[in-house]
Amino acid sequence: MTTGRARSLSRSLTDAEALLWRRLRSRQSGVKFRRQHPFGMCVVDFYSHEARLVVEVDGSQHSTSEGKARDEERTRVLEAAGFPSP
């Protein structure tokens, strides 16, 4: 289910995500990034395995109560995987 959601999200990037992806793709940053990457039961906007770095671009969908709940769950999943809290 998460993989299907990731595919759907990668086809409909927000303007901010598309702008950032143009800078991150093809190792322009020096490391490889994946976009809309499944991570546990969550989908993160951008993920670099070699840098152990997750980048989330927060738009208006993150300000709803449902969006905030998803953000909190994603934070718990990432912290459990050893990623530091922002």
| Residues 8-43: tens digit of each pLDDT | 555 678 888 999 999 999 888 899 999 999 988 888
Name all contacts of 64-73 with Cβ < 8 Å and 24+ positions apart: 70/42, 73/41, 73/42
Identify the DSSP state of 45.
Answer: E
The pTM of this model reads 0.76
> Where in the chain are the domains?
2-80
Question: Coil, strand, or helix at residue 62?
Answer: helix
Counting every residue written for the chain, the total comes to 86
How far is residue 7 from each of residues 49, 51, 61, measured CA to CA in Å? 19, 23, 18
Sign of CA dihedral 53, 20, 61, 5: negative
Instruction: Quote the pLDDT of residue 35.
Output: 93
